[in-house]
C-alpha cells in the first residue's frame, strides 16, 4: 500500500498531461464575440451635428446596414490616438478600393469630431454620433478603434479590435470582402 | 557563412549530447573508467559547440543580417545596439538557444568542479544532463531553427516587441533561465541517485550549492520581472498572478522547499525520498513553465507567439522527462533507506512545516493557474482566476511558514525545546505586540489584517536578530568574545539570517504598498494641480517628441511638497510604428520609503488628459528585499563547507603539481 503512494506523482502528472494535450487545441486568445454571424443589433443614431458639404447627412441605424451592400462599420473618436494611426487605411479602403465605410463616432464632442474629419479627411458614408456610448454597448465595443465587417444581409461577419493596419487590410479584410462577394 | 557554422556547431552539439547521454551510463553500470571519463570531456566540448552556435546567432543580430529569418522577424536596423543583442533571446528560437547555452555551462561546471564526486555519480549526473540537452537541442533544430535563411532578404526587419525593448526585461530571461536550468542539475543529481539507489548526506552536500545557485538566479530573475511589470505596464502593481509569472514562481516555491529539505538530508539523513521528489518537481515545473509560455495553452501578456505544433513537441518532451522520472521515482524511491528519526518539535520539524507550507502554497498556485485550462479543456467555458483567489488562499498559507522561519532556527535538531525557544524569543513577541498595538492605534483599528501582517514581519526580523545575538552571546559575554564568536559562525548561517531578513523586508513592503497606497485617476489640463498623499502634482501638459524608433507623447508633472520642489516626473506614451504597438513609460521618483508614480493616458478631446498618479509606500523594498535574499544565498555559497570538500580538492591539486604527467586527465 505504501509503495503505491510513490506512484501518486506519476498518476497526477499523467492527468495533467492529458489536459495539456486537450488545451493545445484551443485558442485562449479568442475572446468569444457573441455577435459574430449574428444580425446587426438594433440601434439608431443621430447624425453628427454640423457635418454637411455634400456628404450624407443622415445618421446610422440598423436598417442602413441591411441594404444589400457589404459595409465596414468603423468605431472611432477624435480623442483616440490609434484611430489616427488607422485612418489612412480606412481612407484607402473607402476612397481607392471603394468599400462602403460607415462609422460610429464614440463618446465624442461633435465639433471635435468634425475638426478631426476636416483635418484628416472624411472617407465615411454615414456617421452615427454615439455621445454616451449606448449603441457601442449594443455592438459589444470595448475600446476604440474597432471595425466590423457587415455582409449584404446585415450580418456581422468579422470584428477587428485595435487599429486596422495595412497588413490587416491585405491579409484579413480584403480576402473576407472578396469572399462576401463584393 | 557564420550562420552556417553556428548551425553545424549545434548539430554537432546534438551528436555529442547523444553520446554523452548514453556511453557514461553504460560505463557507470559496467564500471569502465574511460567511458565515465568521457562524460567530462563531452560536457566541456558541448559547451564549446553551443557557445559557438549562440555567438553565431548573436553576430547575425549585431550586423542585422536580415537573410536570417530569425533576425528579419525580430530585429530592425534602427534598434539600439543593446536591444539588438538582447533581441537574441527575446524570441522563441533565441531564448531556446540561451536555455541550451546555460544548460551546457552548468554541465561543464559539474565536469570542471565536480572532481571530488564519486566517478559513477558524476558520470550519471552528466548523462542525465545530456539527455535534457538532447531534448532541447532536437526541439530547437527540428521545430524552431534559429539558423533558417530567408531568400530574398527583406530590406529591413520587423522589429522587436517594444515591451521587450527595456533594460529590465532584457536581462530578466537570462537570470530566470539560470534558475530554471540550475534546477536541471539538482534534477540530474536526483535521477542519478535513483539510478544508483543511494542517497546519503554526502549527496545532499553536493546538491545544495547547485540548488542555491539556481535559487539565487531564479529569485533575482523573478524580482527583475516584477520590477519591469511595475514600471512598464503602467498599472502601478508589482505582481499580477499572471500565468507566466506563476510559471516562474512555482519552481521558486519548489526550489525553496528543496533548499530546506536538503538540509535535513545533509544533517540528519532523513526526508530522502521527499527531497528527491522535490528535486524532480522543481525542474518539472521549470519545464512546464517553458511549455506554458511557448505552447499557447495559456494566454498572458508575456507569452511568445503561439504555435500548436511546437506545443505538441514540448508536450512530448515533458511526458518523457517528467513522466519518465516519476516512473523511476515510483520504482526506486521505496528502496531508499530512511535515516534519522526526529520529534515533531525540532529543527527538522520546523523544516517539515516549511516544506508543508511551501508545498501547499505551490499546489494552490498550480491549481489557480491551471484551473482555467482544465475547465476550458472540458468544454465548460472560459474563466479567469484572478488575484482575489491567490491573495485569499496563498497569503494565509504563508503566515505559519513565516512564523516557523523565526522559531525554527531556535530549535535543536532531533528534539527541540519549544518553551525554551519561545522564551528566548520574548523580545520578538514584544516587538510584534508593540507593532500590533501601535498599528491599531494609528489606523484606528481599520486595517487589522495589515497590522497583524506587519506584526508577523516584526516578529521575524526580531527573531533573526535574536538568533544571531544568541549565537555570539551578545551582551552576555565580553564584546571581544562576541566578536570572536561572530567571526566563527559559518557563512551558511549568516546566509540564512540575511535571506530570512530579505523575506521579511519583501513582506513588509508588499503589505505597506498594498494597503496604504494612494491612487488618483482623473482628467487633468495643463496648469492644474492635484494632491496625492501630501504631494502636489502640477501638470504642465503633454508634448510630442521622437525617439530613435518610436514617437512619444510626454506629459510633465512638477511635484512639490509643502511648497518645496521634489521632482519633475515625465511620463510617456510611446508608439512604435514598425511593430504597430504602443507602450506606457511610467515616470517614477523614489524617496526610498515610497514611490511617486505617474502615467499619462488618453486625451479627452478637449485639452484634458487622463492621468493616473500613485503614491506607493515602501514599494522599493520589495526589490531591495529580493536582492537581500539573493545576497543571503550568495553569502551561504561562500561557506567553505559548501565548496564540496574543499580540502580534498586542495590535496588533489598538490598531487597534480607534484606529478605533471597526471595533470592531463
Nearest-CA distance from B450 to chain A in Å?
36
Q: How confident is the model at residue B6 (pLDDT cuts 50, 70, 90)?
A: very high
Q: Looking at beta carbons, which residues of chain B come within 8 Å of A22? A: 377-378
Regarding beta strands A60-61 and B518-524, do their DSSP bridges make them parallel or antiparallel, or are they unpaired?
unpaired
Helix, strand, coil shares of chain A as percentages rounded to 5?
40, 20, 40
B337 pLDDT exceeds 80? no
- Over residues B230-259, the mean pLDDT reads 86
Angle at A83 between CA A80 and CA A87, to 5 degrees: 150
Query: Among A74, A51, A85, A160, which residue's Cα sits nearest to residue B550?
Result: A85
Considering only CB atoms, which chain A residues are within 8 Å of B297?
Answer: 20, 23-24, 28
Q: What is the mean pLDDT of chain B?
A: 85
When pLDDT is averaged across residues B22-36 and rounded to a whole number, the result is: 91
Partner A, chain B 224-263, Cβ-Cβ below 8 Å: none
Asked if B604 has any chain A CB less than 8 Å from its own CB, the reply is: yes
What is the pTM for the complete model shown?
A: 0.80
Q: Tell me what percent of the residues of chain B surpass a pLDDT of 70.
A: 91
Assign B573 to helix, strand or coil.
strand
Q: Is the dihedral of CA B421, B427, B432, B434 positive or negative?
A: positive
Q: What is the pLDDT of residue B360?
A: 94
Residue of A2, A13, A25 lying closest to B326 (CB–CB)? A13
Cis peptide before B239 (omega within 30 of 0): no
CB atoms within 10 A of CB B648: 12
Interface probe for B, chosen from A19, A28, A109, A115 (most Cβ of B below 10 Å), is: A28
pLDDT at B376 > cutoff 80: no
User: Smallest Cβ distance to B605: which of A3, A20, A108?
Assistant: A108
- Judged by a CB distance cut-off of 8 A, whether residue A108 touches chain B is yes
The confidence band for B215, taking pLDDT boundaries of 50, 70 and 90, is very high
Is B312's Cβ below 8 Å from some Cβ in A?
A: yes
Residues of chain B with Cβ-Cβ distance to A9 below 8 Å are: 277, 280-281, 326, 329-330
Q: Please give the grid coordinates belonging to residue B581.
A: 504597438
Of the listed ranges B37-51, B578-592, B614-628, B633-647, the least confidently predicted one is B633-647
Query: String of b and e for B449-465 (b: at least 16 CB within 10 Å)?
Result: ebbbbbbbbbbbbbbbb
* Segment B422-431, tens digit of pLDDT: 888 888 888 8
Q: For chain A, say whether B655 makes contact (Cβ under 8 Å).
A: no
Interface residue B284 vs chain A (CB under 8 A): yes
Determine the distance in angstroms separating the CA of A10 from the nearest CA of chain B, rounded to an integer: 5
Q: How confident is the model at residue B330 (pLDDT cuts 50, 70, 90)?
A: very high
When computed from its CA atoms, the radius of gyration of chain A, rounded to whole angstroms, is 22
pLDDT at B308 over 70: no
B598: distance to nearest CA of chain A, Å?
20
CA-CA distance, B263 to B281, in Å (whole number)?
Answer: 17
Distances (CA, A) of A21 to A32, B96, B250, B318, B617: 22, 21, 21, 11, 44
Length of chain A: 182
Task: Kindly report the nearest CA distance between residue A120 and chain B, in angstroms.
Answer: 15
* Per-residue pLDDT at B361 exceeds 70: yes
Q: How many CA atoms lie within 13 A of B549 on its CB side?
A: 23
- Judging by beta carbons within 10 Å of its beta carbon (0-12, 13-18, 19+), is residue B183 exposed, middle or buried? buried
The H or E element that residue B540 is part of is strand B535-546
Max mean pLDDT range (B35-39, B48-52, B348-352): B48-52
**A10: contact with B, CB 8 A cutoff:** yes
Average pLDDT over residues B439-465: 84
Cell of B214: 539556481
Report pLDDT digits (tens) over B38-73: 999 999 999 999 999 999 999 999 998 899 988 988
Candidate ranges A54-58, A175-179, B218-222, B349-353; pick with highest mean pLDDT: B218-222
Per-residue pLDDT, A162: 79
CB contact under 8 A, A80 and B602: yes
Residue B398 clears pLDDT 80, i.e. is over it: yes
Pairs of residues, one from chain A and one from chain B, whose beta carbons lie less than 8 Å apart: 96
Map residue B117 onto helix, strand or coil.
coil
Residue A23 has its nearest CB partner, among B297, B322, B327, at B297
Residues in chain A with CB shorter than 8 Å from the CB of B331 are 6
C-alpha cell at A16: 495533467
| For residues B78-99, average pLDDT | 87
Which residue has cell 538568533?
B467
Distance from CA of B62 to the nearest CA of A (A): 27
Asked whether residue B171 carries a pLDDT value surpassing 80, the answer given is yes
Q: Which residues contact B115 (CB under 8 A, 6 or more apart)?
A: B649, B652
Instruction: Give B646's pLDDT tier (boundaries 50, 70, 90).
Output: very low
Q: Per residue in B483-497, pLDDT tens?
A: 888 888 888 889 999
Phi, psi angle pair for A76, to nearest 5°: -140, 170
> Which residues are CB-contacts of B457 (< 8 A; sequence separation ≥ 6)?
B402, B435, B504, B507, B508, B511
| Residue A115 at interface with chain B, using a CB cutoff of 8 Å | no
pLDDT in tens, B609-630: 888 899 999 999 999 999 999 9
Mutate to test the interface with B, among A5, A8, A9, A113 (most CBs of B within 10 A): A9
Q: Please give the pLDDT value at position B645.
A: 45
Whether the pLDDT of residue B657 is over 70: the answer is no
Task: Give mean pLDDT, residues B157-166.
Answer: 75
**Domain boundaries, given as residue ranges, for chain A:** 32-179
Q: How long, in residues, is chain B?
A: 665
- Measure the CA dihedral B616/B619/B620/B622, to 10°: -170
pLDDT level of residue B188 (50, 70, 90 thresholds): very high
**Closest among B164, B264, B249 to B215, alpha carbons compared:** B249
**Min CA distance, B294 vs chain A (Å)?**
11
Residue of B nearest to A116 (CA): B605
What was the pLDDT predicted at A21?
81
Neighbours of A177 (CB within 10 A): 20
Give the minimum alpha-carbon distance from B51 to chain A in angstroms, rounded to a whole number.
32
A21 contacts B333? CB cut-off 8 A: no
For B500-543, write each residue's pLDDT tens digit. 999 999 999 998 888 888 888 888 998 999 999 899 999 998 99
Mutate to test the interface with A, among B272, B297, B318, B601 (most CBs of A within 10 A): B297
Q: Which residue of A has its CA nearest to B292?
A: A20
Instruction: Inform me whether the C-beta atom of residue B534 falls under 8 Å from chain A C-beta atoms.
Output: no
Average pLDDT for residues B89-94, to the nearest whole number? 85
Alpha carbon of B546 to those of A86, B161, B572, B576: distances in Å?
19, 18, 11, 10
pLDDT at B201 over 60: yes
Is the CB of A79 less than 8 angstroms away from the CB of B284? no
pLDDT given at position B610: 84
Helix, coil or strand: residue B424: helix
Q: Which three cell numbers stand for residue B388?
A: 482575489
Nearest to A26 among B280, B370, B376 (CB): B376
8 Å CB contact of A21 and B315: yes
A14: chain B residues, CB-CB within 8 Å: 323
B449 contacts: CB under 8 Å, gap ≥ 6: none
CA distance B29 to chain A (A): 25
Q: Residue B417: is it exposed, middle or buried by C-beta count within 10 angstroms (0-12/13-18/19+)?
A: middle
User: CB of A114 within 8 Å of any CB in chain B?
Assistant: no
**Identity of the highest mean pLDDT range in B187-196, B404-413, B470-479:** B187-196
Say whether B523 sits in a helix, a strand or coil.
strand
| Positions of chain A with pLDDT under 70 | 1, 25-34, 52-56, 142, 182
Three cell numbers at B425?
A: 524569543
Q: DSSP assignment, residue B444?
A: T
What pLDDT does residue B306 have? 52
Domain A32-179 bears CATH identifier 3.30.56.10: no
Predicted pLDDT at B329: 94
| Model pLDDT, residue B304 | 45
Hey, are the CB atoms on A10 and B370 less than 8 Å from each other? no
Are B297 and A9 inside 8 Å of each other by CB?
no
Residue B299 pLDDT exceeds 70 = no
pLDDT value of residue B358: 94
Using CA atoms, how far apart are residues B593 and B619, in angstroms rounded to an integer?
A: 7
Residue of chain A with shortest Cα separation from B578: A165
CA-wise closest residue to B98 among B163, B19, B211, B180: B180
Q: Which of B318, B373, B580 sits opposite A23 (nearest CB)?
A: B373
C-alpha–C-alpha distance, residues B328 and B284, integer Å: 14
CA B527, CA B562: separation in Å to the nearest integer? 18
Nine-digit cell string for B584: 506606457
Question: Between residues B599 and B657, which one has the greater pLDDT?
Answer: B599
Amino acid at each position: 500500500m505504501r509503495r503505491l503512494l510513490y506512484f501518486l506523482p506519476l498518476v497526477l502528472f499523467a492527468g495533467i498531461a492529458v489536459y495539456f494535450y486537450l488545451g493545445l487545441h484551443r485558442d485562449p486568445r479568442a475572446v468569444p464575440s457573441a455577435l459574430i454571424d449574428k444580425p446587426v443589433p438594433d440601434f439608431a443614431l443621430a447624425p453628427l451635428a454640423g457635418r454637411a458639404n455634400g456628404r450624407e447627412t443622415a445618421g446610422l441605424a440598423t436598417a442602413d446596414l441591411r441594404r444589400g451592400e457589404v459595409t465596414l462599420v468603423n468605431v472611432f473618436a477624435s480623442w483616440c490616438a490609434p484611430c489616427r494611426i488607422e485612418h489612412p487605411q480606412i481612407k484607402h479602403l473607402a476612397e481607392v478600393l471603394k468599400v462602403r465605410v460607415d462609422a460610429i463616432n464614440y463618446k465624442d464632442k461633435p465639433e471635435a469630431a468634425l475638426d478631426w474629419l476636416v483635418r484628416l479627411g472624411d472617407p465615411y458614408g454615414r456617421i452615427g454620433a454615439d455621445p454616451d456610448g449606448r449603441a457601442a454597448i449594443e455592438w459589444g465595443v470595448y475600446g476604440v478603434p474597432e471595425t466590423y465587417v457587415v455582409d449584404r444581409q446585415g450580418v456581422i461577419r468579422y470584428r477587428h479590435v485595435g487599429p486596422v493596419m495595412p497588413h490587416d487590410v491585405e491579409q484579413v479584410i480584403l480576402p473576407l470582402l472578396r469572399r462576401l462577394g463584393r | 557563412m557564420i550562420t552556417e557554422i553556428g548551425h553545424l556547431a549545434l548539430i554537432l552539439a546534438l551528436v555529442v549530447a547523444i553520446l554523452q547521454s548514453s556511453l557514461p551510463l553504460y560505463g557507470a553500470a559496467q564500471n569502465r573508467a574511460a567511458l565515465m571519463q568521457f562524460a567530462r570531456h563531452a560536457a566541456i566540448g558541448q559547451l564549446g559547440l553551443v557557445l559557438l552556435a549562440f555567438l553565431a546567432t548573436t553576430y547575425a543580430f549585431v550586423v542585422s543580417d536580415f537573410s536570417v529569418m530569425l533576425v528579419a522577424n525580430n530585429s530592425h536596423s534602427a534598434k539600439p545596439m543593446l536591444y539588438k543583442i538582447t533581441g537574441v533571446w527575446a524570441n522563441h528560437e533565441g531564448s531556446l538557444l540561451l536555455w541550451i547555452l546555460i544548460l551546457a555551462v552548468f554541465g561543464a561546471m559539474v565536469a570542471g568542479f565536480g572532481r571530488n564526486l564519486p566517478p559513477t555519480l558524476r558520470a550519471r549526473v552528466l548523462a542525465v544532463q545530456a539527455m535534457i540537452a538532447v531534448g532541447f537541442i532536437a526541439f530547437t533544430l527540428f521545430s524552431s531553427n534559429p539558423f533558417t535563411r530567408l531568400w530574398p532578404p527583406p530590406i529591413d526587419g520587423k522589429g522587436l516587441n517594444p515591451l521587450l525593448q527595456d533594460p529590465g526585461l532584457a536581462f530578466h530571461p537570462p537570470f530566470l533561465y539560470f534558475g530554471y536550468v540550475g534546477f536541471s542539475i539538482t534534477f540530474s543529481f536526483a535521477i542519478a541517485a535513483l539510478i544508483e539507489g543511494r542517497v546519503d548526506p554526502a549527496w545532499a552536500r553536493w546538491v545544495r550549492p547547485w540548488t542555491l545557485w539556481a535559487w539565487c538566479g531564479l529569485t533575482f530573475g523573478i524580482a527583475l520581472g516584477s520590477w519591469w511589470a511595475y514600471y512598464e505596464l503602467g498599472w502601478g502593481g508589482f505582481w499580477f498572478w499572471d500565468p507566466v509569472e506563476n510559471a516562474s514562481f512555482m519552481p521558486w516555491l519548489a526550489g525553496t522547499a528543496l533548499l530546506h529539505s536538503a538540509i535535513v538530508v545533509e544533517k540528519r539523513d532523513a526526508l530522502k525520498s521527499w527531497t528527491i521528489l522535490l528535486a524532480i518537481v522543481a525542474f518539472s515545473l521549470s519545464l512546464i513553465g517553458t511549455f506554458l509560455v511557448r505552447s499557447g495553452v495559456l494566454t498572458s501578456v508575456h507569452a511568445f507567439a503561439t504555435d500548436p505544433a511546437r506545443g505538441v513537441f514540448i508536450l512530448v518532451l515533458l511526458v518523457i522527462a517528467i513522466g519518465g522520472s516519476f516512473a523511476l521515482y515510483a520504482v526506486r524511491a521505496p528502496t531508499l533507506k530512511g535515516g534519522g528519526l526526529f520529534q515533531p518539535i525540532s529543527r527538522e520539524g520546523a523544516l517539515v512545516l516549511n516544506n508543508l507550507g511551501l508545498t501547499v502554497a505551490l499546489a494552490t498556485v498550480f491549481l489557480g493557474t491551471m484551473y482555467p485550462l482544465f475547465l476550458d479543456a472540458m468544454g465548460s467555458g472560459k474563466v479567469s482566476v484572478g488575484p482575489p483567489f491567490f491573495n485569499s488562499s496563498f497569503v494565509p498559507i504563508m503566515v505559519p511558514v513565516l512564523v516557523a522561519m523565526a522559531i525554527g532556527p531556535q530549535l535543536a535538531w532531533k528534539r527541540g525545546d519549544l518553551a525554551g525557544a519561545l522564551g528566548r524569543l520574548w523580545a520578538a513577541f514584544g516587538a510584534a505586540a508593540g507593532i500590533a498595538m501601535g498599528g491599531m492605534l494609528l489606523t484606528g483599528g481599520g486595517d487589522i489584517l495589515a497590522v497583524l501582517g506587519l506584526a508577523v514581519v516584526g516578529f521575524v526580523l526580531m527573531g533573526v536578530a535574536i538568533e544571531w545575538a544568541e549565537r555570539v552571546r551578545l551582551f552576555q559575554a565580553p564584546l571581544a568574545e562576541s566578536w570572536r564568536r561572530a567571526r566563527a559562525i559559518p557563512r551558511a548561517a549568516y546566509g540564512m539570517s540575511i535571506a530570512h531578513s530579505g523575506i521579511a523586508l519583501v513582506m513588509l513592503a508588499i503589505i505597506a504598498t498594498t494597503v496604504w497606497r494612494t491612487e488618483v485617476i482623473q482628467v487633468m489640463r495643463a496648469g492644474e494641480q492635484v494632491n496625492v498623499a501630501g504631494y502636489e502634482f502640477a501638470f504642465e501638459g503633454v508634448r510630442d517628441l521622437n525617439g530613435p524608433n518610436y514617437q512619444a507623447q510626454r506629459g510633465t508633472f512638477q511635484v512639490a511638497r509643502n511648497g518645496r520642489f521634489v521632482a519633475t516626473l515625465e511620463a510617456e506614451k510611446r508608439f512604435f510604428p514598425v511593430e504597430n504597438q504602443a507602450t506606457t513609460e511610467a515616470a517614477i521618483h523614489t524617496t526610498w520609503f515610497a514611490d511617486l508614480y505617474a502615467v499619462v493616458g488618453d486625451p479627452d478631446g478637449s485639452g484634458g488628459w487622463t492621468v493616473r498618479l500613485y503614491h506607493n509606500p515602501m514599494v522599493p523594498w520589495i526589490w531591495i528585499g529580493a536582492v537581500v535574499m539573493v545576497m543571503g544565498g550568495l553569502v551561504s555559497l561562500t561557506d567553505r563547507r559548501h565548496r564540496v570538500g574543499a580540502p580534498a580538492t586542495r590535496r588533489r591539486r598538490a598531487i597534480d603539481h607534484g606529478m605533471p604527467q597526471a595533470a592531463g586527465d
